[in-house]
Structure formats: structure tokens, C-alpha cells
Amino acid sequence: MLSEALIFIIHAIFGFFASVLLLRFWMQCCRVANRNPLSVFVQSLTNFAVLPARRLIPGLGGLDLATLVLAWLTLVVEMLLIVMVKGSLPGSGAAVGVILIMALLMLLRLAIYLAIGAIFLQVILSWVNPSSPVTPVVSALTRPMLQPIQRIVPPIGMVDLSPLIALLLLQLLLMVPLAYLERAVGVGF
């Protein structure tokens, strides 16, 4: 009972921090303005780790690899802590390799969930408050996913179906390739 509560707390704290780091990376990739409330929050929350990591991990082609590597390492630490709470230590190199790969798959899963959340938020904001200060940020984050779909499927009766199609595709990514990879890697774990 106590171990389940501890695992929940570990998952909540490390999952949240990895999500914020991944959001920072995504915002940088989409060139979101730094002067909005969400960007300021994300940067304030992650600067203590990202700024020193940038000295060790260089960027690549305009991508902030330090932030992405920190998100992955956060998930690695989360998995190691959970394994230790469950009472088993990864002694072999194979077990450590499985943890590293599973953390990468968790990072992909987290990225898909963030994309799904951003699409939902954009749809809700477009109905409820299109002039919200968060709307430009969410639009910038979802534009790379929705624009290719909008080129293929134009609005029907002034209704944009691209968010629905993107959500279906993201769900398929979660269900088929990602779930298959997780099962394949986690077989011996």
C-alpha cells in the first residue's frame, strides 16, 4: 500500500517535470514567442536544469538537445526509482538497457499525449475564448500537425475536421506502433 503511494508520487513529480521539459523543447521547435505567460512559466520552472545542461549538451540544427535529453533522463530516473521501490535493482546491463529504451518510449508516449492535449485545448479555446492569451501559443504548437491535414481535407460547411483527424492519427500511433514496441522491449522486464 505504501509502495503504491510512493510510486504514484514519483510518477506524478517526474512525469510532470518531463512533460514541462518536453513542452519547452516543443515550444522552441515551433518558435513560440517567449513573452507569453505559458512560455515564462515553462522557462522559469526548467531553467535551473536546462541552462547548466546546455554547457554540456550542444544544440543540433537549432534544436535544444539539452532539454530533450533532460526530459529523457528524468524518465530514466523515474523508472529506476520505481524499480527500486518495487524491490528489485537492475543489476545486469540488459536490465539497464531495457530501462533506457523504455524511458525513450515513455518520452514518445508523453509527446503524443501532449499533442493530443494541445489539440483539445485549441478546439476548446476556439469555441469558448478565441482571444485568450494562450491561443497563439497553442495554435503555434498545433499548426505543424494540423496544416498538412488541412491541405488534404478542407473545411466542410465551415467546420474544420483537421483536429478530429489528427486526434485519430495520434490515437492510432499510441495503439499500434508504440504499444507494440513497448511490449517487445518490456518482455524481459
- Dump pLDDT digits (tens) for 49-67: 999 999 999 988 888 999 9
Integer Cα distance of 127 and 68 in angstroms: 33
**Rounded to a whole number, what is the distance in angstroms from the first to the last CA of the chain?**
22
pLDDT, tens digit, 9 for 90 and up, residues 92-107: 667 788 889 999 999 9
For residue 188, the model assigns a pLDDT of 47
Q: Check residues 186 and 119 and name the one with the higher pLDDT.
A: 119
Q: Would you give the DSSP letter of residue 132?
A: -
Q: Provide, rounded to the nearest whole percent, the portion of the chain with pLDDT above 90.
A: 68
Q: Phi, psi at residue 133, to the nearest 5°? A: -65, -15
Mean pLDDT of 67-80: 96
Q: Where are the alpha helices (DSSP H) in 30-56?
A: 37-56
Q: pLDDT band at residue 86, thresholds of 50, 70 and 90?
A: confident
Which of 67-76, 93-102, 106-115, 124-133 bottoms out in mean pLDDT, i.e. has the lowest? Answer: 93-102
Residue that the C-alpha cell 517567449 belongs to: 34
Residue that the C-alpha cell 514496441 belongs to: 181
For residue 62, the model assigns a pLDDT of 84
pLDDT, tens digit, 9 for 90 and up, residues 8-46: 999 999 999 999 999 999 999 999 988 888 899 999 999
Mean pLDDT of 68-80: 96
Q: What is the mean pLDDT of the chain?
A: 91
Sign of torsion over alpha carbons 148, 116, 107, 24: positive
Which of 65-74, 89-98, 119-128, 151-160 bottoms out in mean pLDDT, i.e. has the lowest? Answer: 89-98
C-alpha to C-alpha distances, 7 to 27, 59, 93, 105, 138, nearest whole angstrom: 29, 33, 24, 19, 31
Does residue 188 contact residue 98 with C-beta atoms inside 8 Å? yes
Task: Decide if pLDDT at 109 tops 90.
Answer: yes
Reduce the DSSP state of residue 95 to 3 states and report it: helix
Does residue 170 contact residue 120 with C-beta atoms inside 8 Å? no
Does residue 189 contact residue 97 with C-beta atoms inside 8 Å? no
- Predicted TM-score (pTM) of this structure: 0.90
C-alpha to C-alpha distances, 169 to 19, 149, 172, 175, 183, nearest whole angstrom: 21, 11, 5, 10, 20
Reduce the DSSP state of residue 159 to 3 states and report it: strand
Exposed/middle/buried for residue 187 (C-beta within 10 Å: 0-12, 13-18, 19+): exposed
